[in-house]
Amino acid sequence: RTYDNLDMLLKAFEDEKLDAVVFDAPILAYYANNDGRDIAKVVGPVFLRENYGILLPPDSPLAEPINQSLLRLRENGTYDEIYRKWFGTSSR
């Protein structure tokens, strides 16, 4: 079965109309560690890891500062710390 949006999907899960949900791993991890912490648990490995990007206009002056900031967050461990706080596991 499909649902028109995430809210409808999670409502069906909360109402026990679904035994399981397959969706984007970061969103489910956030849900399981926040609103769904008493009723949901992410199990098993991620089926397919996807990379996310940031879209900017061509020649944007923000591209270099964003890239440098993301690299710095990765290198000093802050990225993983933030990821664990909101999603409950390491991003790697």
Domain ranges in the chain are 1-50, 53-92
Does residue 51 have a pLDDT over 80?
no
pLDDT at residue 43 is higher than 70: yes
- Tell me: the pLDDT tens digits for 67-76? 999 999 999 9
Convert the pLDDT of each residue in 18-36 to its tens digit.
999 999 888 999 999 999 9
Q: How far apart, in whole angstroms, are the C-alpha atoms of residue 19 and residue 25?
A: 17
Residues 6+ apart with CB under 8 A from 78: 72
